[in-house]
Amino acid sequence: MHNVTALELETWLNDADQDNPVLLDVREPWEFETCRIDGSVAMPMNSVPDKLPELDTQQPIVCICHHGVRSRQVAMYLEQQGIINVYNLTGGVHAWALEVDTAMPTY
């Protein structure tokens, strides 16, 4: 598992020469409705094992949660399932709101 900061992810998403990752938001539905990074896919943490076949594992996957703890656990789980191109957004959506999208609501 790799770690990526909010600023690094912003650069990645804006780089036309790099494939965009799957932005896997593992927070609860109410959290996802409160705020999210554009293009994120909602898949609450407890649903990941059942919904794993829905993920495009040929693309890099960036796991996202509120502060980076749940997403780290999901990223480790994905690696245990043999998915190797997995990243954890350190600081989570909260860091994104503070460092990238200051208009994003926080909670």
* In the chain, where the domains are located: 2-99
The β-bridge relationship of strands 22-25 and 41-42 is parallel
65 is known as an active-site residue: yes
- Averaged confidence pLDDT in the chain: 97
Choose the catalytic residue: 9, 24, 26, 65. Answer: 65
Residue that the structure tokens 């996802």 belong to: 32
Strands (DSSP E) contained in 1-107 are 2-4, 22-25, 41-42, 61-64, 86-89
pLDDT in tens, 65-99: 999 999 999 999 999 999 999 999 999 999 999 99
pLDDT at residue 81 in the model: 96
pLDDT at residue 55 in the model: 94
pLDDT at residue 77 in the model: 98
- Does the predicted model carry a pTM greater than 0.85? yes
Question: Which CATH architecture group holds 2-99?
Answer: 3-Layer(aba) Sandwich (3.40)
Work out the average pLDDT over 21-48: 98
Residue that the structure tokens 């990243």 belong to: 87
